[in-house]
Structure 1
Amino acid sequence: MAHTVTGPGFRLTERTAGEATVARLHGEIDIRAVLPLRARLDELTAGDRPYLVVDLRAVSFIDCAGLGLLCRARDRIGRRHGRLRVVTTGDRVPRVLRGAGLGSAFELYGSPAEAVAADRGTVLAAARG
């Protein structure tokens, strides 16, 4: 079942793509957004071997609280032997990750389709999200 989480300046929408859940974040991912987003991401990462694709293409701002949220999801998924992929375009998010010392902490992809296809070793152009 798909969920939407909204608040002042942010939104999370989700869908499934194959075995993965694609969580698309919109707007500003800052301290105000962390509590409601953490609750939903905790649900998405609670199962055995979770597979989560976090799409940051529509994020206009992310601060250290938002980075902490990503690290929390990464750690929870790692403990459950799951997979986390991060989708971003441009250099803004990778630059923030590098500046925080997290440059190699996440697998980055240009689209949800590329992230999902990475496990199969192919990019499915028809599935671009």
Structure 2
Amino acid sequence: MRQESASPTRHLRVHRHRGHTVLEFRGEIDIASAAEIAPHLDRETGRPGARIVIDLRRIEFFDCSGLRLLYRARHQVLEQGGQVHLVCTHPLTLRMLRITGLAGMLPPRPTLEEVLGVSLPAARRTGR
């Protein structure tokens, strides 16, 4: 079940989906947008037992400020006994995650459905 979303900044949309909080990053994630996102990220990831999915499918640019946000979110969620997952398909961002080793700590998945273990009907999986 998906609940209504909130857009605390133009670079972040937050919504609930199947018992998880989805943090959808949007547009260019750089030092300026990271500063806007950080307080909202902290609020969501600092909750005990939080179940977080960070969705990067709608990003256009992602630099080391974005990597710091991912590392920060992972650290905070795990410290509170929660779970954190990453959805990412952007080739350059995937490369940055691999090069920095963050992909090993926070393995990216291509879809929200895969992260949440949702089986799609065959017609939707194949695009028919």
Q: TM > 0.5 between the two?
A: yes
Please list the CA deviations of residues 80-113 of structure 1 after superposition, one character each: whole Å capped at 9, or x if unmatched: 1111111012532220112223231212111112
Aligned to 1:120: none
**Per-residue CA shift, 1:33-65, capped at 9, x if unaligned?**
112201001110121111111110111111111
How far 1:12 sits from its partner (Å)?
1.0
Which residue number corresponds to residue 112 of structure 2?
112
1:6 — aligned with what? 9
Q: Secondary structure at the match of 1:104?
A: helix
- Structure 2 match to 1:21: 21
Is residue 22–residue 54 contact of structure 1 (8 Å, CA) maintained in 2? yes
Counterpart position of 1:42: 42
TM-score (normalised: structure 1) = 0.83
- Runs of 5+ unmatched residues, structure 2: none
Alpha-carbon distance between aligned partners in 1 of 2:13 and 2:51, rounded to the nearest angstrom: 16
CA distance in 1, matches of 2:68, 2:107: 16
Unaligned runs of 5+ in 1: 118-122
% of aligned pairs identical? 31
After TM superposition, the runs of 4+ consecutive aligned structure 1 residues lying more than 4 A away are: none
1:103 partner SS: helix
State TM-score, norm by structure 2.
0.84
